[in-house]
Chain A
Amino acid sequence: MTMHETIERPLPLRDRLFASERLMEETGCYDGITDLTLRKLDPLKFETLHTKLRATCVSAREMARRISASPGVREVGEMVVALYTPEGDAVALSNGIMVHVHTMSRFIKWMIREGYEENPGIAPGDIFANNDAFIGTVQVPDVMDVVPIFHEGELVGWAGAVCHELESGGITPGGDVCLAQERFTEGLFVCAEKIGANDEIRRDYVIRCERNLRMPIYWVLDEKAKVAACLEIREGVKEIIREVGIDYWMRVMKEFIEEGRRGQLARTRQLTVPGIYRGHTFYGHVTEGKQGFQPLGPMDWLYNIPIEMEITRDGRMVMDFEGTQPWGYHSMNCTPAGMDGGMFVTLTQHMNFEGLVNDGAWMATELKLPHGTWTNPDNEMVATATSWALLLPAYGVFQRLLSRGFLARGYVEEAFVGQVNSPMIEMGGTSQYGGPFGMAHFECAAAGSGALAIKDGLDTAYVGWNPESDMGNIEIWEQNMPMVYIGRSILPDSGGAGKYRGGCAFISTWLVNKTDHLRLVTSEHSSRVFDNAGMCGGYPAPSCQKHRAVREPNLAERIEKRLPLAHEVGTDPARSDFEKLLEGEHDTVEGPYITRPHKHGDIFSHSYNGGGGFGDVLERDPVKTAIDVENGHLTEAAAREVFGIVVTPGAEPGTFVADLKATAALRKEMRARRLARAVPVTDWIAAERARVSRRRFAPEVRQMYAAAMRLSDRFRGEFTGFWGLDHGFDMLEGDKA
């Protein structure tokens, strides 16, 4: 057999893509690669080449980050670089926002399917860009660039790069445009557009960016950074082809992917247990009374996100979102590209820690995304600007489902309660330098993680979308926005309680600085419901905390009199430190925060989210808890009331010690109280059934059930079956509270 007998060259790209898909269907193997010939022939050469490709991607990304002007890319690393086959399947990738490795794959395939080879043509030196989620990205600010790689006139691959832009020119500043209720207010769209030729970005494209963005310097320099990364990869691949020959190259790319696919199946069989896994999460969105939101649909709503995952005996993972909510006139819809991306980035963190990481892993999985739901809208005009709001909680569920499998298999060190949303703050208006500006503040990329099955979660050091979590330096953010920090501190009790607590989040407090027009907007903010969970008895982390703002506080006066200032909200939910110490107009607001502009001297605080807990709280180590109190991760009140741990001040000021005797007594009492208050589940179901049958729920809850039942007969069957109701039960008509 010759090396690439499977597909004769050079076929038109579209034919190559269709042939590749047909071969996968016929053989069950990627591109019909049933035998890893090259790997067998010389495994060392094979592995070394993949490592080299990965190193090329990593190095291209690092180089590109230094071209960017955006603190999101430079500081936080909101970028990824990858290499693709001619058909658009990822062969190797860098670190960074790996969610986009597969979304770029969709972008390339979309252009091939749409006949881009004929018009607008695909030639050496061309540059294509996209940020349309229905073509292949997650949200508007995720702008991707790809360049074709040619060898002697034949397309032999693609190089691609994505940066998350801090400003995308939408109806509100930033990129996660929470006010967008349809596509038309999300910002500047680039829909699979040829934006350059001969390795140069077109001047007219740059002009369009400059005239449609609040802060074009970020976007435009990021374009240059991405193109530089792509060219770096392209030249690296050409060098490799010179070294190994074109026949080897064309075959080895495919073998890398097939090996990735086989590796994923093998790891699933190694690390988990076959069977059905189920989980759910929720998201609450509140816009009633908030200026700017159009009444196109329900103003306040509740989304349920149930997931059923099957791990088959051959190691395939099938994730099914049946029973979830329809798309809506809000910014949180997601496209299949985004859903794929979520799956890809989660797998790379949890299972692809060895072997070849590429699109092969994704091919060993299947997503069932019911048409018409937020996961797969049947209307391409919907907004997806804040799709992370639903995507992240959904993949947090996936992490817990996987972790159940790891736990059952004995690999406790891999079990991880998972990720959560961490609300985003964005801003725009007039900068401290006097000109227009707009940006997303990306310190949210350092939330608390869920707990592990053997230790506490990471404090201020994890987000699901970028495993290299980083909050960036205060000074860099202060350079880029008209606000200065007067506080950035650990948020006590922000991790979910458990034997192992979730990681804590942090809170920032800013003083608006040298501007008379600062618009602050927040998104991905679920304050009405928990959008995360604990595991094995652990509790969810707190829901999103409200925003606290003070307009025209008497800060200058207090500074002059050398009186204490408020640097954070504090631990009294009834009255914040701001209210205790500052005069002025106090606002306590559920997100999304959207209100009239702020000006110099105002104060604004924003909290990020912690992760869920693992295990029963009454099993938490008292000594570790004393250290937590000492370090500000837990309050004494939480230690005592939630964990049943008594800590007392130590001999040294600021230290705490656990009182083991008092703790044992308190825990005994708490366990007894727990048992005394609990009721048999059967009794509770009998009582609850009466409430369900009379529909005694808040309107948003009734609406949620009605929508889920309308879209899914299976959900209807499960709901009515569980509560013993008629299959045709109508949640909206009949008795109510």
Chain B
Amino acid sequence: MTSYSQETIRDLMAGTLPWPQTRRIMSAYKDEDRFWKALAVLQDRVAWADPILLPISEHLFIAQTAGGRVTKCECGHEFGDYRQNWKLAAAVLVRDNDALLREIYPTSDLPDPEWMELREFLCPSCGVIHEVEACAPGYPVLHEFQPDLEGFYADWLGRPLPAEG
């Protein structure tokens, strides 16, 4: 069975693994223990101790905390219950005019801000942008991912979720 060291997975996730090695991993049969190794790498990366249950974005995780299972930023900021849309507890910068769009597209033709805006959802503590929505003005905020956490752990991983509280 294919398996890699935790260091290899760490470098792969950091984008620092040399390309020939990365390419071999992409072409090989998948390593079945990846999820646990990836989780361990992420757990080492964060400065807090709450167990990470699932990564949902580059710096956003579902973590088991004393207050329940919450969506949590790498910096430690908590966005509340993981079943709720974390974006509603984020900060947002909306680019809905030419001047604001021009900051991101300095040399290109711009879309029409009457038809389209960018919404940067960021962590109110550290300022990292977790997601950018490109949508028509007035579009409801998207709840991008609602994982079936119980099903995933119990049925797919064969390990029950750690008990809450």
Contacts and interface: CB of A to CB of B under 8 A. Distances in A.
A635 interface: yes
Interface in B83-116: 87-94, 103-112, 114-116
Nearest to B56: A408
B156 to A, nearest CB: 6
Interface string A410-445: 111110000000000000000000000000000000
B115 A529 contact: yes
Contact of B12 (A279, A413, A618, A638): A413
Contacts of B118: 530, 539-540
A642 B106 contact: yes
Interface stretch (B43-51, B63-71, B138-146): B138-146
A270 to B, nearest CB: 6
Interface in A270-310: 270-271, 273-282, 284, 302, 304
A635 B146 CA distance: 38
Contacts of A271: 30
A528 B107 contact: no
Given A279-B142, A410-B55, A638-B106, A455 B15 contact: yes
Nearest to A543: B111
Given A413-B26, A681-B87, A527 B136 contact: no
Contacts of A275: 145-149, 151-152
Nearest to A642: B104
Question: Which residue of A499, A678, A698 has the most chain B CB atoms within 10 A of its CB atom?
Answer: A678
A539 B104 contact: yes
A631 interface: no
A280 B131 CA distance: 13
A454 interface: yes
B164 interface: no
A410 B115 contact: no
Interface in A703-737: 704-705, 718-719, 722-723
Contact of B145 (A277, A635, A698, A700): A277
Interface residues of A, number: 93
B128 interface: yes
A502 interface: no
B160 interface: no
Given A273-B148, A404-B144, A678-B92, A533 B13 contact: no
A546 B142 contact: no
Given A275-B146, A573-B108, A684-B92, A692 B58 contact: no
Nearest to A571: B107
Given A410-B55, A499-B58, A274 B127 contact: no
A529 B108 contact: no
Contacts of A616: 58-59, 128-129
Contacts of B19: 455
A529 B111 CA distance: 5
Contact of B136 (A270, A282, A454, A536): A282
Interface in B149-164: 149, 151-152, 155-156
Contact of B93 (A277, A527, A678, A722): A678
Given A279-B144, A413-B26, A537-B131, 10 more contacts: A284-B115, A410-B34, A454-B13, A537-B57, A537-B130, A538-B132, A680-B124, A681-B141, A688-B138, A701-B114
16 contacts: A273-B54, A276-B145, A278-B143, A304-B136, A407-B55, A409-B35, A455-B19, A493-B106, A493-B108, A534-B134, A535-B131, A571-B107, A573-B110, A678-B124, A681-B90, A688-B138
